Amino acid sequence: MIERDDLDVLLSTEEINTRTKELAALITEEFKADNDLHVICVLKGSFLFFADLVREIELDLTVDFLGLSSYGDSTESSGVVRLTQDLSKPIKGRNVLIVEDIIDTGLTMKYLVENLSTRGPKCVKVCTLLHKPDNRTVEVQMDYIGFEIPNEFVIGYGLDYAEKFRNLPFIGVVRKRG
């Protein structure tokens, strides 16, 4: 069982906020000519990053929410991505931006980009706060990356261990013993 006191800070609230503002500025720049952006929050993990990111994007955007699950209470992917909640509206003709907390094996994002691409959007772009290059097993589209991180299970700022710790304001890793 992991406890709060077992965690080291990998990325502080301040580091996350600074990078989020940089990503939002890049996204604003890319979509300002069209002035159309539909931002999708991948539940549950990306709820905090999504909320902070959209507040920094200076466009009249719209939002929607979708749920995907493949880890359950484990620290390893089951390999099977399950749609737990679908979007509330069609995305045909829209500029779609998927917002994720982490691309780890890449299986979730591969599934999602393929799924949304069949629905006729004008474009699909991907923004992820974290990327673990050393654990990725499939090729995945990534347009905006917050941080590349080591191959360790991370917790906090939306990311859970057995559904807990999502409310931590920073990204933590379990402290190595000794």
Ligand X SMILES: O=P(O)(O)OC[C@H]1O[C@H](OP(=O)(O)OP(=O)(O)O)[C@H](O)[C@@H]1O
**Would you name the residues annotated as active-site residues?**
104
Please report how close the Cβ of residue 72 comes to ligand X at its closest, in angstroms: 7
Please report how close the Cβ of residue 104 comes to ligand HPA at its closest, in angstroms: 4
Instruction: Please name the helix (run of DSSP H) or strand (run of DSSP E) that holds residue 10, with its range, or none.
Output: strand 7-11
The size of the chain, in residues, is 178
Q: Residue 100 interacts with ligand HPA (CB under 6 A)?
A: no
Please report how close the Cβ of residue 142 comes to ligand X at its closest, in angstroms: 11
Angle at 120 between CA 119 and CA 121, to 5 degrees: 105
Which tokens is 112 given? 């999602």
Q: Residue 71 interacts with ligand HPA (CB under 6 A)?
A: yes
Please report how close the Cβ of residue 152 comes to ligand X at its closest, in angstroms: 13
> Using CA atoms, how far apart are residues 69 and 163, in angstroms rounded to an integer?
12
**Based on CB atoms, which residue is closest to ligand HPA, 28 or 135?**
135
| Residue 154 contact partner, candidates Mg ion, ligand X, ligand HPA, none, CB within 5 to 8 A by sort of partner | ligand HPA
> Using CA atoms, how far apart are residues 80 and 83, in angstroms rounded to an integer?
10
Binding site for ligand X (CB under 6 A): 42, 44-45, 68-71, 77, 100-108, 160
Q: Residue 68 interacts with ligand HPA (CB under 6 A)?
A: no
**Based on CB atoms, which residue is closest to ligand X, 59 or 66?**
66
Instruction: Please name the helix (run of DSSP H) or strand (run of DSSP E) that holds residue 28, with its range, or none.
Output: helix 13-31
Q: Residue 160 interacts with Mg ion (CB under 5 A)?
A: yes
Binding ligand HPA (rule: CB under 6 A), the pick from 27, 154, 157, 168 is 154
Q: Is the peptide bond before 32 cis (omega within 30 degrees of 0)?
A: no
For residue 25, the one-letter residue type is A
> Using CA atoms, how far apart are residues 57 and 48, in angstroms rounded to an integer?
15
Q: How many other CB atoms sit within 10 Å of the CB of residue 163?
A: 9
**Based on CB atoms, which residue is closest to ligand X, 13 or 69?**
69
Strand partners, 116: none
By CB under 5 A, name the binding residues for Mg ion. 71, 160
> Footprint of ligand HPA on this chain (CB under 6 A)?
71, 102, 104, 153-155, 159-160
